[in-house]
């Protein structure tokens, strides 16, 4: 297939694009490389890759590369609450307007697979798993924009949306600001962390399994289309204290304590059911412990500096 990926050099995209190429697809990536990292260099030898430095909001550019694409993965995004708070106009124009432009300018025959977020569930009910039928109550600008554009995509049809859990793990376009990645970094380098709102729960997924979910959706598109799917580890609905306990299993010197020192701007506190996508045959390859082990090794290579979104 011919696949267009906006934001294809991002945290998930730089894992996904090599897998798409490996599967034999022709891939065009549009990315502005805003974080000054160097993902996809190892793919430049592949003749099936077309790499374009550009902005996902550029109507002329997007219209040009939409032509002939069999499938579109709109990954370009200002990801995360802090970044959207810092740049609300960028959040609106990239996370919503640019995706809507793809909807407006694409043919209904073109497949779209879109990553949204299960932070749209906001504050869940204690002990009750959020399914795809659970009402969405996003609190942050990031969550609200993702929910709004997901509605437009599902109304369009010929689309699959993936409500990704909080991702973790090493990627060529690394992010240390993600929760698991951040906590492991602190465990390895600082040996301690002070937690706030430590009993808030959320779900997690390895970045390679997030990429795998896109490939799974593409390969099973006809029987999955028209629906949203939660994507996470079913055994990793954890609060921050539990997450730190998991990290301490591999970093015994790690010390953590709870204090009333901060507030989560996203307020996310929920547990998630991933049964729907699992019933289609999707199964994650990496556990939370696998990811922690990988991160510990990765942090022998990189230090914080530019490896985050904010």
Q: 74 lies in which domain range?
A: 2-165+205-231
Please tell me the predicted confidence (pLDDT) of residue 161: 98
Q: Does 8 share its domain with 154?
A: yes
Q: Does 219 share its domain with 72?
A: yes
Q: Does 90 share its domain with 55?
A: yes
Q: Does 109 share its domain with 192?
A: no
**Per DSSP, which regions of 54-210 are E strands?**
71-74, 111-117, 129-130, 159-164, 166-168, 192-195, 201-206
Mean pLDDT of 100-120: 96
For the cut 90, the answer to whether the pLDDT of residue 166 exceeds it is: yes
Q: Does 177 share its domain with 156?
A: no
Q: How many domains does the chain have?
A: 2
For the cut 70, the answer to whether the pLDDT of residue 34 exceeds it is: yes
pTM of the model: 0.95
The share of the chain scoring above pLDDT 70, in percent, equals 98
What digits encode the pLDDT tens for the residues 230-263? 999 999 999 999 999 999 999 999 999 998 877 7
Say which CATH number the domain at 80 has: 3.40.50.720
Residue 84 falls inside a structural domain: yes
Residue 256 falls inside a structural domain: yes
Q: Which residues pair with 257 in a beta bridge?
A: 194
Q: Does 103 share its domain with 243?
A: no
For the cut 80, the answer to whether the pLDDT of residue 221 exceeds it is: yes
Residue 277 falls inside a structural domain: no
What digits encode the pLDDT tens for the residues 257-309? 998 877 776 678 999 999 999 999 999 999 999 999 999 999 999 987 667 67
Q: Does 25 share its domain with 137?
A: yes
Q: Does 81 share its domain with 178?
A: no
Q: Does 210 share its domain with 258?
A: no
Say which CATH number the domain at 252 has: 3.90.25.10
Q: Does 106 share its domain with 144?
A: yes
Q: Does 102 share its domain with 82?
A: yes
SS3 244: helix
Residue 246 falls inside a structural domain: yes
Q: Which residue has the tokens 């554009």?
A: 149
SS3 11: coil
Q: Does 63 share its domain with 126?
A: yes
Mean pLDDT of 16-38: 96
**227 Cβ partners below 8 Å, 6+ apart?**
132, 154, 160, 161, 276
Mean pLDDT of 92-106: 98
Residue 266 falls inside a structural domain: yes
Residue 306 falls inside a structural domain: no
Residue 18 falls inside a structural domain: yes
Please tell me the predicted confidence (pLDDT) of residue 306: 63
Residue 276 falls inside a structural domain: no
| Cα separations in angstroms, 129 against 118, 162, 169, 240, 269 | 12, 17, 24, 18, 11
Residue 164's φ and ψ, nearest 5 degrees, are -75, 140
């Amino acid at each position: 297939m011919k696949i267009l990926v906006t934001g294809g050099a991002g945290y998930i995209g730089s894992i996904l694009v090599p897998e798409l190429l490996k599967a034999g697809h022709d891939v065009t990536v549009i990315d502005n490389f805003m974080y000054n990292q160097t993902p996809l260099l190892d793919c430049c030898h592949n003749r099936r890759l077309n790499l374009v430095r550009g902005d996902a909001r550029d109507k002329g550019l997007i219209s040009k590369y939409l032509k002939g694409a069999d499938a579109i993965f709109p990954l370009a995004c200002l990801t995360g609450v802090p970044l959207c708070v810092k740049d609300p106009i960028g959040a609106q124009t990239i996370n919503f307007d640019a995706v809507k432009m793809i909807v407006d300018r694409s043919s209904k025959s073109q497949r779209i697979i879109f990553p949204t977020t299960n932070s749209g569930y906001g504050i869940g009910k204690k002990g009750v798993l959020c399914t795809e039928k659970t009402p969405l109550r996003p609190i942050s600008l990031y969550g609200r924009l993702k929910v709004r554009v997901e509605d437009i995509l599902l109304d369009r049809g010929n689309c699959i949306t993936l409500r990704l859990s909080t991702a973790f793990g090493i990627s060529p376009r690394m992010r240390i600001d993600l929760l698991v990645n951040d906590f492991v970094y602190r465990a390895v380098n600082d040996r301690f962390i002070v937690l706030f709102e430590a009993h808030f729960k959320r779900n997690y997924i390895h970045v390679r399994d997030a990429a795998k979910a896109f490939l799974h959706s593409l390969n099973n598109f006809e029987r999955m289309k028209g629906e949203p799917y939660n994507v996470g580890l079913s055994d990793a609905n954890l609060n921050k204290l539990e997450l730190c306990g998991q990290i301490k299993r591999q970093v015994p010197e790690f010390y953590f304590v709870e204090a009333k020192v901060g507030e989560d701007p996203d307020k996310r506190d929920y547990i998630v059911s991933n049964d729907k996508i699992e019933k289609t045959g999707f199964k994650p390859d990496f556990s939370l412990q696998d990811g922690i082990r990988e991160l510990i090794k990765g942090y022998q290579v990189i230090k914080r500096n530019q490896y985050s979104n904010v």
